[in-house]
Amino acid sequence: MKILLIFSVLPLCAAFLIALLGRWFKHWGEILASLTTLALLISSLYCAKLVGIHKILVYKVSGWMPPLGICLVADGLASFMLVTVNLIVFLSLIYAISYMNKYTDKWKFYSLFMIMLAGLNGVIISGDLFNMYVFLEAASISGYCLVAFGTEAQDLEASFKYAIMGSLASVFILLGIVLLYSYVSTLNMADISLELLSKPRGMLVGFVSVLFLTGFCLKSALVPFHAWLPDAHSSAPTPVSAVLSGVFIKAVGIYALARVFLNVIGIYRNLLFILMVLGAASMIIGAFLAIAQKDIKRMFAYSSISQVGYIILALGIGTPLACLGAVFHLFNHAVFKSLLFLNAGAIEYSTGTRDLSRLGGLNNKMPVTSYTSLIGSMSISGVPPFSGFWSKLVIILAACQAGRFGFAFIAAVVSIITLVYYLKFIKFTFLGSSDKTPMPIKDIHFTMKFSMITLAIICIIAGVLLIPSNRQFLQGASDSLLSGRAYADAVFGALK
Amino acid sequence: MSAYFLCFVLFCIGLYAILRKRNIIKIIVGLVIIEYAVNLLVILIGYRFQGRAPILAKDQVILNMVDPLPQALVMTTIIIGFSVLVVLISLAIRIYEKYGTFDITKIRRLRA
């Protein structure tokens, strides 16, 4: 199954070629990067189709048989994540082509962006714990550089904070991997899972679980560990914010957490409860902090913390319906949060400010941004025909079904608070008088409009993924979450 | 056993530096100390009492050999630690150019 190899090799080659030749040829970076991401989007869709037929794809790197060699694995969850990541990255890159004109040395941006994409894809398809750590670090380091890409004072400060927190998280994850290795003497995820079954469940596995939980929660910015996220995501250039908030924290945080706990170490009751509490705390605190923000991107960043809480809460409930809700909300949040960040970038591009108190009356002047923001805002606050409503409904229903009425109530209330601060965003930006708005309003380019309109259309129609006849895409992902230890048997079965 | 304990002490010193120090450079040094503590732990895990390098040759009988995999892992983590260090140091230099100080309590323009 060679197709798995291109997901990390192709962007790495592109990054190398851009860095090699970008200095001399104008537009080389844009062309190569957008072609690469388009190719990856198409192959991720093809990979999802293959996974639909074969259930699981396994590739042995350079022919070494696992557990001795490294293997790449794409099951339902991984192919679902690949489609999400490559879709958002492709649209953000199309947006970046005209947005990044205000920066110098654009080829460096495209090169770093490709390394980040290689890291994200690598984390998703890796079947080896240490290999996953290496890809995670590749994605994170290019993330720190991209946050500081503007090299303004604020960007550097945010990037430094992010880099320290992110590296600390990586150290915890590495420590967990090493201690787990000392216990089971293997690094292949499927093999670890089998070894752990045959050994008594000692204190060490509990300690390793805590290390992994700390590391991945720092990476996905759940509430006690969230301090770096609003700074980093609001200071980065807009296409990077869209990718960081849309897919980065999900791929290196939630996906890795779910994979390690559900499929490798195995989940137990206390851990599920911890996940639920962390999720609920993130939802509430993120939402309340978002209300008070004046900077548009900062508000969206706090909103990300709150929405990631929904996904973690649903994972913590752990019933089949809740897992379906978790993966569906993950997809929806990737789509509408990157749409909203791209809108914030368009507003900043046209008017030169992101401050809510200095904006107003943009409704007539920027129709495309205005309507797509409205769709994104309604979708994220869970207004019925849009995608966000369906995923939140599934999560709340799952919480009720599992008898967790308190958490269901919190989820419903936070949804209303979300509506409040998105209405605030719409009112202060697009409605009212345009007296205070800095005047000549620049027109946004076609490529920026294309990305925003495509994401808005996905927001409207994503609800059809839940219809039983179309549900295979989401069902495959939630099935591989629920299969638990059967992951190991599936991997070794596919190798034979 | 005492080696593991000293490794843990090193880890705690690094964590203390990150949490308590105000100077950016000292925070970076703390992070490096933590990374070295983890690297040391990786090597210790691969160590076997009176073990030797696992090089197989025809006329040699190896009774006790160290685990070679952690040593390979440590090479990778050292390189990763190095690249993180380079990014952090260059950020620190640019921050000093912008703010004129290394004190993190004075570097807070983001706070709204």
Encode pLDDT of A138-190 as tens digits.
999 999 999 999 888 889 999 999 999 999 999 999 999 999 999 998 999 99
Q: Are A178 and B73 inside 8 Å of each other by CB? A: yes
Query: Is A167 an interface residue toward B (CB < 8 Å)?
Result: yes
Region of poorest pLDDT, from A194-203, B80-89, B90-99: A194-203
Contact A344, A300 (CB under 8 A): yes
Would the pLDDT of A270 be above 90?
no
pLDDT band, very low/low/confident/very high, at B83 (cuts 50, 70, 90): very high
Q: Which of B80, B92, B108 sits opposite A137 (nearest CB)?
A: B80
Report the half-sphere exposure of B30 (CA within 13 A, side-chain side): 20
Q: Which of B11, B80, B97 to mutate to test the interface with A (most CBs of A within 10 A)?
A: B80
* CA B36 – CA A18 distance, rounded (Å): 34
Q: At A56, which amino acid appears?
A: I
Q: pLDDT for A14-70, tens place per residue?
A: 999 999 998 888 889 899 999 999 999 999 999 999 998 888 999 998 888 888 889
Q: pLDDT for A451-465, tens place per residue?
A: 999 999 999 998 888
* CA A43 – CA A81 distance, rounded (Å): 13
Does A67 sit behind a cis peptide bond, omega within 30 degrees of 0 on the bond before it? yes
What 3-state DSSP class applies to A333?
Answer: helix
**Phi/psi at B69 (nearest 5 deg)?**
-65, -45
Among chain B residues, CA nearest to A183: B45
Question: Quick one: average pLDDT of A368-394?
Answer: 91
* CA A448 – CA A369 distance, rounded (Å): 10
Query: Is A159 an interface residue toward B (CB < 8 Å)?
Result: yes
Q: Which two tokens stand for residue A337?
A: 């949060």
Query: Is A182 an interface residue toward B (CB < 8 Å)?
Result: yes
Report the gap between the CA of B61 and the closest CA in chain A (Å).
Answer: 23
pLDDT band, very low/low/confident/very high, at B111 (cuts 50, 70, 90): low
- pLDDT, position B63: 77
Query: Between the CA of residue A111 and those of A14, A32, A91, A457, B38, what are the distances in Å?
Result: 7, 10, 17, 29, 31
Enumerate the residues of chain A whose CB falls inside 8 A of the CB of residue B69.
Answer: 181, 187
Q: Which of B75, B78, B91 to mutate to test the interface with A (most CBs of A within 10 A)?
A: B91
Report the gap between the CA of A141 and the closest CA in chain B (Å).
Answer: 7
Question: Quick one: average pLDDT of A113-134?
Answer: 94
Residues paired with B52 in a beta bridge: B65
More confident residue, B79 or B108: B79
Q: Which of A151, A164, A293 sits opposite B94 (nearest CB)?
A: A151
What 3-state DSSP class applies to A389?
Answer: helix
- Chain B positions contacting chain A at CB under 8 Å are 18, 24, 27, 31, 34-35, 38, 41-42, 45, 67, 69-70, 73, 76-77, 80, 83-84, 87-88, 91-92, 94-95, 98-99, 107-110, 112
* CA A4 – CA A57 distance, rounded (Å): 8
| 3-state DSSP of A301-322 | HHHHHHHHHHHHHHHHHCCHHH
Query: Is A298 an interface residue toward B (CB < 8 Å)?
Result: yes
Q: Are A175 and B18 inside 8 Å of each other by CB? A: no
Among chain A residues, CA nearest to B28: A164
Report the gap between the CA of A162 and the closest CA in chain B (Å).
Answer: 10
Enumerate the residues of chain B whose CB falls inside 8 A of the CB of residue A167.
Answer: 31, 35, 84, 88
Q: pLDDT for A210-234, tens place per residue?
A: 999 999 999 999 988 998 999 999 9
**Mean pLDDT score of chain A:** 91
Q: Which of A174, A293, A294 sits opposite B77 (nearest CB)?
A: A174
Region of poorest pLDDT, from A308-312, A337-341, A396-400, A483-487: A483-487
Question: Whole-model pTM?
Answer: 0.94
Which among A268, A273, A259 is positioned nearest to A219, based on CA atoms?
Answer: A259
* CA B8 – CA A60 distance, rounded (Å): 37
Q: Are B76 and A134 inside 8 Å of each other by CB? A: yes
Query: Is A141 an interface residue toward B (CB < 8 Å)?
Result: yes
- pLDDT, position A309: 93
* CA A250 – CA A151 distance, rounded (Å): 26
Enumerate the residues of chain B whose CB falls inside 8 A of the CB of residue A144.
Answer: 87, 91
- pLDDT, position A223: 86
A vs B: CB pairs below 8 A: 83
- pLDDT, position A41: 95
- pLDDT, position B105: 86
Question: Quick one: average pLDDT of A276-305?
Answer: 93
Beta strands, E only, A79-196: none
DSSP letters, B19-77, are HH--BHHHHHHHHHHHHHHHHHHHHHHH--TT-B-----TT---SSB--HHHHHHHHHH
Which among A240, A476, A425, A424 is positioned nearest to A341, based on CA atoms?
Answer: A240
Largest CA distance in chain B: 72
* CA A276 – CA A274 distance, rounded (Å): 5
Which among A392, A300, A297, A407 is positioned nearest to A353, based on CA atoms?
Answer: A297
What 3-state DSSP class applies to A72?
Answer: strand
Residues 6+ apart with CB under 8 A from A51: A57, A74, A75, A76, A78, A79, A476
Among chain A residues, CA nearest to B103: A157
- pLDDT, position A385: 82
Among chain A residues, CA nearest to B108: A157
Q: pLDDT for A179-189, tens place per residue?
A: 999 999 899 99
DSSP letters, A357-378, are GG----TTT-HHHHHHHHHHHH
- Please classify residue A104 by burial: count the beta carbons closer than 10 Å to its beta carbon, then call 0-12 exposed, 13-18 middle and 19+ buried: exposed
- Indicate if ipTM > 0.90: yes
Q: pLDDT for B7-60, tens place per residue?
A: 999 999 999 999 999 999 999 999 999 999 999 999 999 888 888 887 777 877
Which among A14, A59, A21, A57 is positioned nearest to A38, based on CA atoms?
Answer: A14
Report the gap between the CA of A383 and the closest CA in chain B (Å).
Answer: 31
Phi-psi region at B66: left, alpha or beta (left = phi > 0; alpha = psi -120 to 50): beta
Letter string b/e over residues A279-305, b meaning 16 or more CB atoms within 10 A of that residue's CB: bbbbbbbbbebbeebebbbbbbbbbbb
Residues 6+ apart with CB under 8 A from A488: A189, A190, A191, A193, A194, A263
